[in-house]
């Protein structure tokens, strides 16, 4: 019988995989994709709690999270494109001109 614990454990595994992706990888786009992975895992947590407490509020919040994630992806990718025009790299360690 699949209970709330299973779904929340899956959500935490996906979230920590997203965190590992942000920490370990050096490519801007892969970091961005890991952020989407984290948002996805949070959506899963919302919906599973909504199901097991028999209320619909969790699903409404997933609605908003998906919308905000789409808007953030659009703006973030536009930023990546304009950064790429300045310095043709997506390696995050080379984007250090504001340092010091």
Size of the site for another protein (CB under 8 A): 70
Q: Is 87 in the site for another protein (CB under 8 A)?
A: no
Residues 63, 30: Cα–Cα separation, whole Å: 24
Are the C-beta atoms of 76 and 36 separated by less than 8 Å?
no
Q: Is 73 in the site for another protein (CB under 8 A)?
A: yes
- Least spacing, CB of residue 83 vs another protein, in Å: 10
Q: Give the footprint of another protein on residues 26-55 (CB under 8 A).
A: 26-27, 29-30, 32-34, 36-37, 40, 43-44, 47-48, 50-55
Residues 33, 76: Cα–Cα separation, whole Å: 11
């Amino acid at each position: 019988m699949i209970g709330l614990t299973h779904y929340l454990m899956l959500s935490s595994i996906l979230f920590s995989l997203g965190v590992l992706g942000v920490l370990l990888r050096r490519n801007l786009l892969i970091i961005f994709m890991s952020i989407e992975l984290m948002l996805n895992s949070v959506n899963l947590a919302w919906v599973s709690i909504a199901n097991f407490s028999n209320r619909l509020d969790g699903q409404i919040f997933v609605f908003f999270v998906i919308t905000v994630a789409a808007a953030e992806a659009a703006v973030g990718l536009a930023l990546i494109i304009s950064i790429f025009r300045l310095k043709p790299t997506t390696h995050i360690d080379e984007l250090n001109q504001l340092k010091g």
